[in-house]
């Protein structure tokens, strides 16, 4: 069985590990399951014109004003001061978000996206369980090197992003050459969390489970762990995430 | 059930993540299963007077000469040029190593030990399957905060070090307060690798399995994945690893 013709796939479990990987010819999948990349998928699925990921709250307010856009974001799991909306997929139904621009800043996900962009990623897309199949189909079709990049929590590895990376690995591994222990560990984690990812997070008392369920966000947690609720492919072009047609 | 009285336990899966953890009051367990910390345990178990971990080959040669000690180490899995011995536990039987000083440098493990020391670790010990029970018994007895620090491979997370961290977590978790996803993932990995850790590494085609079995070191691999073959407690004092009585 030849592996030479298959592109490489790696998984980075923390932004602090991103620079170990050469991404100049890779598609980088930014993963922030709770909740940035789930919310990006939901907003675009529900007809948002675009999502502009920004690094900090002041940029968010400034760009939001200049573009007459919705400003949203969180710090430490709560709506950041000065912004209008938070980081929950449920805040962005079609009736509200259709044809609008969302400017978004989050603790981990938007930061990692800009890191990957500054590190010269060939292409950036965002992934979450909400758009699992869209991501997998795209990666198989493109047949290019892939880095699955987990946003983690302030650089500390987390279960949910690793689990999503594992779900992708499990679904597409026969199309890639994977010499990467992190990818294998992620797949194992995902398989052991099946069939009920929410229950797994609860039993494990995952750090983000405790953080979000403490804010009464169990509904968000369940939703963000459900596959294919917003099956679009958000792609980063000229500073904006748009839906790939 | 109160967790307040239990010390915290964290796991760092890569040297690149070490600085996320405050280790000033922690016992740091340096983990480099393949093969530095397995070899350190073996040498001390077989009566070595001390093991001096050093950062680079030239220090190793210089200190070895000054102390009339054995110089050993590897770079990229092979005996480093200019050194006498390698990084295999089998090179250090009692007949050879008893009462001698070993000066050792390795790609990942000795580097991480010095990082932890420079970062102000309260105490440093080295762990591997070879001394699993000694490590667990000591950590329980000391009742202090713990960081399990994996050496990884050039900062990339690896299966075997994570698996050993998981074995420790599994054995001592009721004595600690563990709000750390990496620790939970490590434990899950260890449990799924049971009962045959070697077979698991083989089936997963773990990166280090491929690296070492390529050098004909399958015997080393099996040995380094076997619990309690050299059940001593190597503790770092004044630049030397000695056996704690």
pTM: 0.96
A202 contact residues in B (CB cutoff 8 A): none
The CATH number of the domain where B160 resides is what?
3.90.1560.10
Say how many CA atoms lie within 13 Å of A107 toward its Cβ. Answer: 19
The CA distance from A157 to B74, in Å, is 29
Asked if residue A226 has pLDDT above 90, the reply is yes
Handedness of CA A126, A130, A136, A141 (dihedral sign): negative
Nearest residue of A to residue B10, measured between CA atoms: A156
- What is the number of structural domains in chain A? 1
> Would you say residue A152 lies in a domain?
yes
- The answer as to whether B199 is a domain residue is yes
User: Splitting chain B (245 residues) into consecutive groups of 10 residues, what average pLDDT does each group show?
Assistant: 80 98 98 96 98 95 96 85 92 97 93 97 98 98 98 96 98 97 98 95 89 80 96 97 90
Residue with token string 């070993």: B102
pLDDT digits (tens, 9 = 90+) for A70-101: 999 988 777 888 999 999 999 999 999 999 99
Give the three-class secondary structure for A32: coil
**Sheet of A70-75, strand order:** A9-12, A146-150, A27-31, A123-127, A234-237, A240-243, A50-53, A101-105, A70-75, A78-79
Burial-class residue B170 by CB neighbours within 10 Å (0-12, 13-18, 19+). Answer: middle
- Examine residue B1 and state whether it is found in any structural domain, yes or no: no
Residue B52 domain-assigned?
Answer: yes
Residue B158: strand, helix, or coil: coil
Q: From the list B13, B188, B208, which residue is nearest A189 (CB)?
A: B188
CA distance A167 to A194: 10
CA dihedral A240, A117, A125, A150 (to 10 degrees): -130
Question: A160, A207 in Cβ contact below 8 A?
Answer: no
Q: Is residue B185 part of a domain?
A: yes
pLDDT at A213: 77
Q: Measured between beta carbons, which residues in chain A are less than 8 angstroms from residue B205?
A: 179, 184
Best CA proximity match to B29, nearest among B144, B106, B107, B178: B144
By Cβ distance, the residue of B158, B181, B189 closest to A157 is B181
Contact at CB, A184 and B162, closer than 8 angstroms: no
Look at B181 and A156 and tell me if their CB atoms are within 8 Å.
Answer: yes
Please count the residue pairs, one from chain A and one from chain B, whose beta carbons lie less than 8 angstroms apart: 84
Q: What is the pLDDT of residues B34-82, one digit of tens each?
A: 999 999 999 999 999 999 999 999 999 999 999 999 999 988 777 888 9
Instruction: Using an 8 Å CB-CB cutoff, list chain B residues near A181.
Output: 156-159, 162, 204, 206-208
* Domain membership flag for residue A1: no
The answer to whether residue A8 scores a pLDDT higher than 50 is yes
Contact A17 B20 (CB under 8 A): no
Tell me, yes or no, whether A3 lies in a domain.
no
DSSP B80: P
**What Å distances lie between residue A69 and A63, A91, A99, CA to CA?**
8, 15, 10
Residues in chain B whose Cβ is within 8 Å of chain A: 13-14, 16-17, 20, 154-159, 162, 179-182, 184-185, 188-189, 192, 204-208, 210
What domain range is B219 assigned to?
Answer: 9-243
- Asked whether the beta carbons of residue A20 and residue B16 sit closer than 8 angstroms, the reply is yes
Which two structure tokens, joined as six digits, stand for A125? 């897309």
**In the structure encoding, which two tokens stand for residue A113, read together?**
């996206």
* Proportion of chain A above pLDDT 90, given as a percent: 86
Number of other residues whose CB lies within 10 A of the CB of residue B196: 11
Please say if the pLDDT value at position A179 is more than 80: yes
**CA–CA min distance B193, chain A (Å):** 10
**SS3 category, A129:** helix
Q: Which chain A residue lies closest to B186 (C-alpha atoms)?
A: A185
Structural domain contains residue B191: yes
Cα separation, A46 vs A98, in Å, equals 6
């Amino acid at each position: 069985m030849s592996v030479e013709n298959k592109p490489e796939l790696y998984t980075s479990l923390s932004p602090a590990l991103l620079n170990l990987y050469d991404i100049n010819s890779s598609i980088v999948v930014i993963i922030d399951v709770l909740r940035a990349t789930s919310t990006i998928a939901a907003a675009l699925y529900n007809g948002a014109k675009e999502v502009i990921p920004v690094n900090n709250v002041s940029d968010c307010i400034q760009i939001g004003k200049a573009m007459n856009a919705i400003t949203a974001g969180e710090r430490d799991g709560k709506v950041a001061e000065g912004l209008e909306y938070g980081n929950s997929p449920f805040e962005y139904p079609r009736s509200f978000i259709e044809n609008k621009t969302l400017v978004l800043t989050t603790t981990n996900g938007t930061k990692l996206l800009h890191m990957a962009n500054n590190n010269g990623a060939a292409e950036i897309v965002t992934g979450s369980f909400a758009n699992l199949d869209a991501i997998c189909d795209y990666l198989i079709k493109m047949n290019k090197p892939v880095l699955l990049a987990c946003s983690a929590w302030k650089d500390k590895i987390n279960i949910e992003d690793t689990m999503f990376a594992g779900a992708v690995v499990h679904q597409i591994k026969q199309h890639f050459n994977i010499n990467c222990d992190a990818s294998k560990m992620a797949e194992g984690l995902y398989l052991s969390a099946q069939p009920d990812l929410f229950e797994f997070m609860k039993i494990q008392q995952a750090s983000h489970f405790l953080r979000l369920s403490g804010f009464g966000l169990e509904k968000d947690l369940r939703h963000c762990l459900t596959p294919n609720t917003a099956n679009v492919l958000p792609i980063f072009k000229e500073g904006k995430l748009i839906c790939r047609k």
